[in-house]
Amino acid sequence: MIESGPFERQVVPTADGSLSVYAPAFGEAYHSLNGALRESEHVYIRHGYDQLAACRERLAILEVGFGTGLNALLTWERRLRSAIAVDYTAIEAYPLPIDLALGLDYGRGLHRAGAEDAFTAMHRCPWNQPHRLDGRFTLLKRLARLEDFEPRLDSCDLVYYDAFSPNVQPELWTAAIFERLRAGMRPGALLVTYCAKGEVRRTLRAVGFIVEGLPGPPGKREMTRARRP
Ligand SMILES: C[S@@+](CC[C@H](N)C(=O)[O-])C[C@H]1O[C@@H](n2cnc3c(N)ncnc32)[C@H](O)[C@@H]1O
């Protein structure tokens, strides 16, 4: 368990050509080495955002672990395709050094006008203050440990649960944490995560989620999606 940051990080390549970050202190990378971009698109965008965006005018998203900002950037890009408004809150306990984050160049990789500026703004905007990226996308980066975070009741439509794995951070995959997140979610809200561990699914069910296993991104058999009834 890591008690304080910052700690060492190394930029690593992944199989789809996008970069990720490896944290030796956790012994894990921030994304799948089978493809960072493909994993984020598959787990968080396709099986999370796309499931709700079609039938809403506004989405409140909570991300656990802002990290590289890849999930936030992909959500910003997807949002451009419809008239929906997004309020995106991301919790992060150990922010990346800004030069390292910007060097990942995720904005350029998207080939979408404005993406590089959006990615830079996401990293340069201050912590703990809502920042309006454009008329329909607001980002609030909360510098906090998830363990200390109290979500507003019934306020969130979608959770991107992207913590390090339960093998290295078991304290982030407990019933107490998921109970608190569930209380912050509206009825019908979704939680998506790359993690497919049976124990995590049992914990989610125990605190009242309806849980399904879905095909995982390249290199992973399954991922998990949970719905607050
Ligand atoms: C697997 S990485 C994923 C990050 C991000 N979603 C991305 O795509 O780059 C997990 C993230 O959780 C952060 N983290 C670790 N412990 C945390 C805690 N107790 N509370 C909040 N964030 C934490 C790490 O610093 C890291 O940024």
Q: What is the pLDDT of residue 91?
A: 98
Ligand 1 atom nearest to CA at 165? 1
Ligand 1 atom nearest to CA at 36? 8
Q: What is the pLDDT of residue 109?
A: 86
* Total tally of structural domains belonging to the chain: 1
CA pair distance 50, 53, nearest whole angstrom: 5
Interval 90-119: pLDDT, tens: 999 999 999 999 999 999 989 899 999 999
Asked whether residue 100 is domain-assigned, the answer is yes
Interval 6-40: pLDDT, tens: 679 999 999 999 999 999 999 999 999 999 999 99
Ligand 1 atom nearest to CA at 21? 9
Number of other residues whose CB lies within 10 A of the CB of residue 74 = 19
Q: How far is the CA of 153 from the centre of ligand 1 (A)?
A: 23
Q: What is the pLDDT of residue 4?
A: 46
Burial zone of 10 (CB within 10 Å; 0-12 exposed, 13-18 middle, 19+ buried): exposed
Asked whether residue 98 is domain-assigned, the answer is yes
Asked whether residue 3 is domain-assigned, the answer is no
Asked whether residue 56 is domain-assigned, the answer is yes
CA pair distance 129, 42, nearest whole angstrom: 29
Domain span at residue 127 reads: 10-227
Asked whether residue 124 is domain-assigned, the answer is yes
Interval 159-209: pLDDT, tens: 999 999 999 999 999 999 999 999 999 999 999 999 999 999 999 999 999
Asked whether residue 104 is domain-assigned, the answer is yes
- Whether 67 is in the pocket of ligand 1, judged by its Cβ within 6 Å, is yes
Provide the H-helix boundaries in the chain.
Answer: 36-40, 50-53, 70-79, 98-103, 106-109, 115-124, 175-184, 198-206
CA pair distance 55, 50, nearest whole angstrom: 9
Average pLDDT, the chain: 95
Q: Does residue 124 carry a pLDDT above 60?
A: yes
Interval 48-86: pLDDT, tens: 999 999 889 999 999 999 999 999 999 999 999 999 999
Tell which residue, 46, 78, 48, 36, has the closest CA to residue 220. Answer: 36
Q: Look up the CATH number of the domain holding residue 33.
A: 3.40.50.150
Q: Does residue 5 carry a pLDDT above 90?
A: no
CA pair distance 89, 98, nearest whole angstrom: 19
Asked whether residue 2 is domain-assigned, the answer is no
Asked whether residue 143 is domain-assigned, the answer is yes
Q: pTM value?
A: 0.97
Ligand 1 atom nearest to CA at 68? 9
Q: How far is the CA of 131 from the centre of ligand 1 (A)?
A: 20
Ligand 1, residues 143, 146, 148, 177: which to mutate, most atoms within 8 A of Cβ? Answer: 146
Confidence at 1, pLDDT banded by 50, 70, 90:
very low
